[in-house]
Structure 1
Amino acid sequence: MGGIMSQFIALLGHYQAQLEQQYSGLLNQDIRRAIIDMLHCKQDESRYSQWHCGHCLHDQQHPASCGNRSCPQCLHQTTSNWLAKQTDKLLPVHYFMVTFTLPYQFRVLAQKHPKALYQLMFKVTSNLLKDFASREDKGSLGFTSVLHTHNRKRELHPHLHIVIPSGRYDASKKQWHKGDKRYLFNAFSLAKVWRGRMMEAINHHPQLTLPTNIPNKWVVDCRKVGVGLSSFQYLSRYLYRGVLPDKDIIHITDEEVTFRYKEGGTHLMKTRTLPVLKFLWLILQHVLPKGLQRVRDYGFLRGNAKRLRLQILLLLGVNVASKSPPNVMKRTSFICPCCQHIMQFMGMGRLSH
């Protein structure tokens, strides 16, 4: 009953001992737990999920998934659920995406203390954006922050993508202030404050130490992205499907792995070939610490601000009565092989030996 194993997990199983020997000093508890989960995903013959078709009464068992968010075989339904929820929050305004990037000198910190560093990134950027908005005295922002840890070549490259609708809500006056669809904030000013505040936060953190040779200029990208849906679709592709899809691993030998990626500037497809162990570590270094929330909503986009969003939609002239609830599935669904209807999850089971 074991499921089909991804190429990455198959490599991981074959080279696990060598990986442990070469990278033992870098494999933290979270990475080791992810390795164990992935190697057992859909392979444990004794654990299964039970499904029933109410239309034709067909019963079926599927091997149990591990559910680890780093597993390339799991959580595809989580991606579509997140996109459905974000789509439900969309306002009929123009949107911006602001990207805050840490210089490469901070990669060592990201490897040694990922949770502390990533938490600071969320805290500093959210306070920074709120402060920039408060200067203009037009009300508060709503925004969604998403942590990415890699660049296109899959190297460690921590950055935050933050999607922000153009406009502010003034709670005291219950008014919506329309934003400029061409301009949010000055990117150079954001970058200057981002650098100063992040360095100060690291200096005051008991676990973290500033690296040497920190550049004077940091990069913040602030661009308009239209109505917002395309940005959430872009971000959703990277959220819950692993760092590298199996389809992009194009050649494997006993010594090397070749994968493809799209180059940022030219959008041309490129390939990268690495020794097997180096390739495995390249992907595993992006395993997130347990308990770290990599997607966070702020202001009127928070999960518990639904009533406030309805008020804003009314102010924007939207007929809220015609809005349908988001199509969110509670778990992965299966289609009945006999009649093509959606099957009902009946629970988890374990075979006795």
Structure 2
Amino acid sequence: MLAKHTLAGVLNLEENHLKELSRSSWHERTLHAIRKCRTKALGGHLDWCKSCDKLHLQFNSYRNRHCPTCQGHKQQQWIEGRSRELLPVPYFHVVFTLPNNLNSVALQYPKELYKILFDSAWKTLVAFGNNPKHLGAKIGMIAVLHTWGQNLSLHPHLHCIVPKGGITKAGYWKKGKNKDDFLFSIKALSVKFRGVFVAELRKTIPNLPQSLYDKLFKHKWVIYAKPPFGNPKNVLEYLGRYTHKIAISNHRIQAIDKQKGTVTFRVKNYKKGGQVSNLTLKIKEFIRRFQQHILPKGFTRIRHYGILSSSWKKEKLPRLQMLLADKEKDCIDVIITKEKSVHRCCPICKKPGLVTLIIFDSRGPPKKYKELVISKIKKHIL
């Protein structure tokens, strides 16, 4: 179902002022890319469905990772790839969150700070994983960076998926000892994470004032962990909701008031049990908040570590899956096989096999495209 209002529609209202509103040339390019996505400006193509005989005129996508209309098939393709890499063991969902005191640093040094966040989370988990008192094995992690809260405020945090156990030096799988909410003590992890993060911050960005560090140590840092997923299927379904999520989806935008120059969008208050309400902002303020979540050029927001890293995927991971298949029989039965991609499927009958008949640029389809379509369909049928 198509959204009534879109992010592109909001940006179009300030089309002539995006350069003034943009924090950098990279932000300006991103905002214009979202505006032009799936419009005549990028050209398009005419597809024909062999199953239901319907024609579909579609404009091209800019494929920008911050655009809410471009993430559907990317998300599906990513999930298909990860389904072949799942281990038949329970997984945990862990969230590493940065305190609000670091928001100004995130705006000034986004690339450096977010890299420190990834590195610190992994170093913290490795320190506990390698310690025989806690586990004594090599662990793995998939981490996804989110930078936003529901009201589009800056709220950098990592969503991490961690298998319950690891590989020993002898090559055997070792289950986690802790029977509580996570592999390791959450309180101990929080203290360790703060120490590792601050040490990395001092080394990477040495010009920050001491008053900032005093504030960082004044309050406790909290790591959030959910109980383990029941089986790998739940992991995959859960990951799909986080991997290609952006700051705001089109469906959350409830109204755009051109006369008042405001945008109203839906927000959830997780402190009140997910209570839903509407928030209205001036369009310029909405764009300012959205820009805070445009990542630096080339920055990788989904990263794999340890036994889930790319270096393990070719040879070691398949052997590990076979090793665990015998031990975790109750889990192996529910591992998901590769799903059929929704990309290039007919939007009406939902069947694959769309045939592209005509490709056109920003000038639009040729004037006599109907005759061309008929001839191409006949040629394809015959």
Q: Please give the TM-score of this superposition, normalised by the length of structure 1.
A: 0.85
SS at match of 1:214: helix
Work out whether 1:326 is the aligned partner of 2:338: yes
Q: CA deviation at 1:159?
A: 0.6
Q: CA deviation at 1:336?
A: 6.8
One-letter identity of the residue aligned with 2:285:
K
- Alpha carbons 1:97, 1:164 under 8 Å: kept: yes
Q: CA deviation at 1:224?
A: 1.8
SS at match of 1:65: coil
Work out whether 1:105 is the aligned partner of 2:131: no
C-alpha distance in 1 between matches for 2:112 and 2:97 = 16
Find the counterpart in structure 1 of residue 367 from structure 2: none
Work out whether 1:177 is the aligned partner of 2:169: no
Which one of the candidate residues 163, 166, 181 is aligned to 1:165? 163
Find the counterpart in structure 1 of residue 366 from structure 2: none
Find the counterpart in structure 1 of residue 319 from structure 2: 311
C-alpha distance in 2 between matches for 1:166 and 1:323 = 16
- Map residues 86-97 of structure 1 onto 2, 5 A cutoff: 86-97=82-93
One-letter identity of the residue aligned with 2:173:
W
C-alpha distance in 2 between matches for 1:69 and 1:238 = 13
Find the counterpart in structure 1 of residue 305 from structure 2: 298
Find the counterpart in structure 2 of residue 72 from structure 1: 68
Distance 1:31 1:314, change over 3 A: same
Larger Rg: 2
Find the counterpart in structure 2 of residue 224 from structure 1: 227
Find the counterpart in structure 1 of residue 265 from structure 2: 259
More helix by share: 2
Unaligned residue ranges in structure 1 (runs of 5+): none
C-alpha distance in 2 between matches for 1:190 and 1:19 = 43
- Alpha carbons 2:67, 2:246 under 8 Å: kept: yes
SS at match of 2:93: strand
Q: How many residues align?
A: 345
One-letter identity of the residue aligned with 1:214:
L
Of 243-252 and 120-129, deviating more is: 243-252
Find the counterpart in structure 2 of residue 63 from structure 1: 59
Distance 1:232 1:151, change over 3 A: farther
Q: CA deviation at 1:222?
A: 2.8
Find the counterpart in structure 1 of residue 147 from structure 2: 149
SS at match of 2:267: strand
SS at match of 1:274: strand
Q: CA deviation at 1:45?
A: 4.6
Q: CA deviation at 1:55?
A: 5.4
Which one of the candidate residues 288, 306, 318 is aligned to 1:281? 288
Of 131-140 and 288-297, deviating more is: 131-140
Find the counterpart in structure 2 of residue 129 from structure 1: 125
Q: CA deviation at 1:175?
A: 0.8
Q: CA deviation at 1:321?
A: 11
Of 342-351 and 150-159, deviating more is: 342-351
Find the counterpart in structure 1 of residue 188 from structure 2: 189
C-alpha distance in 2 between matches for 1:352 and 1:287 = 27
Find the counterpart in structure 2 of residue 11 from structure 1: 10
Distance 1:347 1:118, change over 3 A: farther
C-alpha distance in 2 between matches for 1:322 and 1:9 = 40
Map Cα deviations across residues 237-276 of structure 1 (whole Å, 9 max, x no partner): 2432432122222232233222112221312112222222
Which one of the candidate residues 78, 82, 99 is aligned to 2:78? 82
C-alpha distance in 2 between matches for 1:222 and 1:119 = 21
- Alpha carbons 1:51, 1:61 under 8 Å: kept: yes
One-letter identity of the residue aligned with 2:298:
G
C-alpha distance in 2 between matches for 1:351 and 1:107 = 42
Q: CA deviation at 1:163?
A: 0.9
Distance 1:16 1:196, change over 3 A: farther
Unaligned residue ranges in structure 2 (runs of 5+): 364-382
Which one of the candidate residues 24, 44, 48 is aligned to 1:48? 44
Find the counterpart in structure 2 of residue 351 from structure 1: 361
Of 56-65 and 85-94, deviating more is: 56-65
CA RMSD of aligned residues (A): 3.1
C-alpha distance in 2 between matches for 1:101 and 1:90 = 26
- Alpha carbons 2:40, 2:362 under 8 Å: kept: no
Identity rate, percent: 26
- Alpha carbons 1:50, 1:62 under 8 Å: kept: yes
C-alpha distance in 2 between matches for 1:288 and 1:77 = 21
SS at match of 2:173: strand
SS at match of 2:62: coil
One-letter identity of the residue aligned with 1:250:
Q
SS at match of 1:77: helix
Distance 1:39 1:185, change over 3 A: same
Distance 1:46 1:143, change over 3 A: closer
